[in-house]
A and B are shown apart, each in its own frame.
Chain A
Amino acid sequence: AFSEIEKDEL
């Protein structure tokens, strides 16, 4: 799912 992608934005 999407949440695997690192959330790197503030």
Chain B
Amino acid sequence: MNIFRLTGDLSHLAAIIILLLKIWKTRSCAGISGKSQILFAIVFTTRYLDLLSSFISLYNTSMKVIYIGCAYATVYLIYMKFRATYDGNHDSFRVEFLVVPVGGLAVLINHDFSFLEILWTFSIYLESVAILPQLFMISKTGEAETITTHYLFCLGLYRALYIVNWIWRYYFEAFFDLIAIVAGVVQTILYCDFFYLYVTKVLKGKKLSLPA
């Protein structure tokens, strides 16, 4: 464990908690893409199946349980409890165009053709594009609530910090996982235009609104 990975995990945890609290406190999931949240629930489920089979550390296990629990709680709030506030019309990204190619790629390019390894690879590839329905929804509505932009900033920052963690591990532990690195770089690149808007607008107290 290094400081970059720890702050990355805490940034990821902050994002998940911010979103859950935003929906719970405002009793509304307006502006939130339910499809992205379903994809994140799939990402955690397929990646953390080893929860049952291997124990790495209390930190590792507890974070996985929290991530999975919050992900399903968020999906539940969006599609069940506060479904009346779910903006289905703007959450129209065709996720099958993500899941099918990612599934095919995971079968073709992986470290080991075993069930758990292919699921893990699928989870890594899926995570890199899971935010697209959310970013697509914001481009369609042309704006995002400020709390949602903080959620997205923390979420984007987490994988950016993981990239620094991989550089650190490469030099100090001679460890690197090309699949995770390439997917992580793609994932972080997808946030770049949002990061630009976040820094130039939200941090200056303005509302995030895209030129419609």
Contact = CB atoms under 8 A, between A and B. Distances in A.
Interface string A1-10: 1110111111
**Which bracket fits the contact residues of B?**
20 to 34
B5 A9 contact: yes
Contacts of A2: 111-112, 177
Contacts, number: 28
Interface in B99-116: 111-112, 114, 116
Contacts of B67: 10
A3 B111 contact: yes
Contacts of A9: 5, 162, 165, 180
B175 interface: yes
A7 B116 CA distance: 11
A1 B120 CA distance: 15
B83 interface: no
A10 B40 CA distance: 13
A10 B111 contact: no
B13 to A, nearest CB: 9
B155 to A, nearest CB: 13
B64 interface: yes
28 contacts: A1-B111, A1-B112, A2-B111, A2-B112, A2-B177, A3-B111, A3-B112, A3-B114, A3-B116, A3-B117, A5-B175, A6-B54, A6-B56, A7-B50, A7-B120, A8-B56, A8-B57, A8-B60, A9-B5, A9-B162, A9-B165, A9-B180, A10-B9, A10-B12, A10-B60, A10-B63, A10-B64, A10-B67
Interface of B: 5, 9, 12, 50, 54, 56-57, 60, 63-64, 67, 111-112, 114, 116-117, 120, 162, 165, 175, 177, 180
Interface of A: 1-3, 5-10
